[in-house]
Amino acid sequence: MRAEFAQAMIALADESPSSLFLTGDLGYMALEGVRDKFGSRFINAGVAEQNMTSVAAGLAYEGFIPWLYSIAPFAILRPYEQIRNDICLHNLPVKIVGNGGGYGYGIMGATHHTLEDIGVMRCLSNMKVYVPFTGSDIDLAVRAMASDISPNYLRLNLAPKGTPPVPPFAQWRRITQGNGLVVIGTGPVLWNVLSADEALRESLEVWNLSILPFYDIPDELAESIARTGNILTIEEHYGQCGINEAVAAVLMRRGMSSVRFRSAFARGYPTGRYGSQVWHQEQSGLAGPTLASLVREMLHA
């Protein structure tokens, strides 16, 4: 998704002269085109993310729209106090972009992984979290963020190749229709459900969530849940403060707490070892045989 993001920013440069781009000394072999297009509006703030965030808040206060880019944990966890106090409490239109959400940086380990970002960002005042599903989502997500007067966080991840077309970027999208199990997921990890067991795909009704927070679900989704009584959430994020808890809260408010409800989420580092993103997903039951077994279990329960 990083390449699609760079192209979206290059297109935005002419359309939004008030946009500025700040990077924490990252983006080699990805942002050179952005640098050239933005010119003096491209700022390398160095490895100083807290300072970069406060500078962006000041620029936003003066009428600019700053875009901050770094590896996801460096973009949000290191400067979290500055995001909370300088940006969110003043409702400033700073756009934070974190690359490599979830286990995206693979063997580089926990310092470069971000398994809590959706939770910590969606609870901040005025903040919206954007989680693209495919690379084709990026342009519309960037444009939606650019037109939003509030702060935003964009979580970039590795999108699987060869994915079929999906509906245009939106907060909620129905990807497939089925009568056996409703699956709600955020981010590219949702594709793992569709590829877990080809024979079961026709039984799955798959929904994608791409903008948080949310306080209700579409009526069509509620009707499918009521019809099947069977729901699975999946996310490359810790279970705490994840979409599973948010979905469960909505179901309780709607009086639907009796449905069969299971969640697949990041389990951290069960073996204490590091590997590729797919390896970590398999360790957490987010891919491979464990996920396929869970889907079959829910369909046949």
What would the DSSP string read from start to end of 257-289?
TTSEEEEEEE---TTS----HHHHHHHTTSSHH
CA dihedral sign, ordered 79, 116, 161, 170: negative
Beta bridge partners of 67: 21, 95
Question: Is 31 in a helix, a strand, or coil?
Answer: coil
C-alpha 225/C-alpha 182 separation (Å) is 6
Nearest to 235 by CA among 200, 205, 208: 208
Tokens of 70: 């770094």
C-alpha 8/C-alpha 278 separation (Å) is 27
Residue 11: the pLDDT is 96
C-alpha 285/C-alpha 39 separation (Å) is 45
| CATH 3.40.50.970, the chain: domain bounds | 2-155
Q: Whole-prediction pTM value?
A: 0.96
C-alpha 291/C-alpha 286 separation (Å) is 6
H-helix or E-strand containing 139?
helix 138-146
Superfamily of domain 2-155: Thiamin diphosphate (ThDP)-binding fold, Pyr/PP domains (3.40.50.970)
Q: Look at the block and give the residue holding tokens 């204490």.
A: 272
CA dihedral sign, ordered 82, 86, 87, 91: positive
Tokens of 278: 């797919």
C-alpha 243/C-alpha 235 separation (Å) is 7
| CATH 3.40.50.920, the chain: domain bounds | 172-300
What backbone torsions phi and psi does residue 137 show, to the nearest 5 degrees?
Answer: -75, -20
DSSP code of residue 150: S
C-alpha 130/C-alpha 98 separation (Å) is 11
pLDDT in tens, the chain (301 residues): 899 999 999 999 999 999 999 999 987 778 999 999 999 999 999 999 999 999 999 999 999 999 999 999 999 999 999 999 999 999 999 999 999 999 999 999 999 999 999 999 999 999 999 999 999 999 999 999 999 999 999 999 988 777 778 999 999 999 999 899 999 999 999 999 988 777 788 899 999 999 999 999 999 999 999 999 999 999 999 999 999 999 999 999 999 989 999 999 999 999 999 999 999 999 999 999 999 999 999 998 6
Residue 158: the pLDDT is 86
C-alpha 172/C-alpha 139 separation (Å) is 17
CATH 3.40.50.920 fits 172-300, yes or no: yes
